[in-house]
Amino acid sequence: MSGSGRLSSLLIHGVLILGIAVIAFPILIALIASSHDQITLVGKFPFYFGEHFIENYRTVLGEGMKRAGGGAVGPMLMNSFVMAIVIAVGKIVISILSAFAIVYFRFPFRMGFFWMIFITLMLPVEVRILPTYQVIANLELLNSYTGLTLPLIASATATFLFRQFFLTVPEELTEASRIDGAGPMRFFWDVLLPLSRTNIAALFVIVFIYGWNQYLWPLLVTQEESMYTVVMGIQRMVTVADAQAEWNLVMATTILALLPPVLVVVLMQRWFVKGLVETEK
């Protein structure tokens, strides 16, 4: 590498680090704010960590913003966690089963079902807000985990992903297990499911984040505080915080709300990248 090459390489690293710093800046600010008491944050922003870090997090987790009428964040995190897990597992189970049926069987209406699932790509919650809400209300599923999760577990992309993958599985495997006398479910359990492990892992990461980050749907379906998820709970705190200025507690909640999905992405990076690329195909 020539001298100018080294200089430009230094410059490239410099710009990259600057970019990362700018992107991470909001998180740094939130972390700092969550370590101070309420009064410190009122004046000029303090560019150092305060001493109230543990105290603030303990407060929001245990009792929430009591003075401002905000609920405890502990149960909200629990609700978010249940919601994300149920949606992820549910989506994977119903998608892998329907993909298995569509690829490995010939039956009337097979392509009809396939197109029905495909069309749901075009029906995001946002365009059918009111009627979907009414369906849930009529089924008396408001303020329940079922109402929170069931409408979100149907997925065209997950079904596609499994279908595409099953189509690449060699026919010899199917033939061999048929010669061995294995029925379809046996083949599914012993051959197809083990082969799908990486796809399932990749999909799990993507769908977990999708479930955890849901906002509009929980906003509609939950009216009882005991059912709030943390992502939607924050918005209520902001509205209150503006009047009460308890930004230290709001920022502590924000950190708690973004930590689980961010950890999943960072720790399962390989699956995450695979899932992101595959589901967009």
Please, which of residues 74-133 interact with another protein by CB under 8 A?
A: 93-95, 97-98, 100-107, 110, 113, 116-117, 119-124, 126-132
**Contacts of another protein in 43-72 (CB under 8 A):** 44-45
Interface residue with another protein among 6, 7, 9, 189 (CB under 8 A) is 9
Least Å distance between CB 85 and another protein?
A: 16
Among 85, 150, 191, 240, binds another protein (CB under 8 A): 150
Q: Residues 89, 142, 240, 258: which binds another protein (CB under 8 A)? A: 258
23 makes contact with another protein (CB under 8 A): yes
Q: How far apart are CA 142 and CA 77, in angstroms?
A: 19
Residue whose CB is less far from another protein, 27 or 195: 27
d(CA 95, CA 233): 30
Taking CB under 8 A as the criterion, the residue among 209, 227, 249, 252 binding another protein is: 209
Structure tokens at 166: 């099953």
**Euclidean distance between CA atoms 57 and 40, whole angstroms:** 17
Cα angle vertex 41, ends 39, 45, to 5°? 145
Smallest separation (angstroms) from another protein to the CB of 12: 5
Lookup: tokens for 168? 């690449």
Q: How far is the CB of 171 from another protein (least distance, A)?
A: 5
- The binding track of 159-198 with respect to another protein, each residue x by CB under 8 A or -, is x------xx---x--xx--x----xxx-x-----------
Q: How many residues bind another protein (CB under 8 A)?
A: 98
Nearest CA among 112, 88, 110, 92 for reference residue 158: 92
Query: Distance between CA atoms of 73 and 5, rounded to whole angstroms?
Result: 52
Nearer to another protein, 75 or 261 (CB): 261
Q: How far apart are CA 271 and CA 205, in angstroms?
A: 7
Residues 210/155, Cβ–Cβ less than 8 Å: no
Among 194, 197, 224, 280, binds another protein (CB under 8 A): 280
| Contact in structure between 229 and 214 (CB atoms under 8 Å) | yes
Does 200 participate in binding another protein (rule CB under 8 A)?
Answer: no
Residue 126 and residue 133: Cα distance in Å, rounded? 11
Smallest CA-to-CA distance from 279 within 87, 103, 92, 89 is with 92
In the complex, what is the shortest distance from the CB of residue 29 to another protein, in angstroms, rounded to a whole number? 6
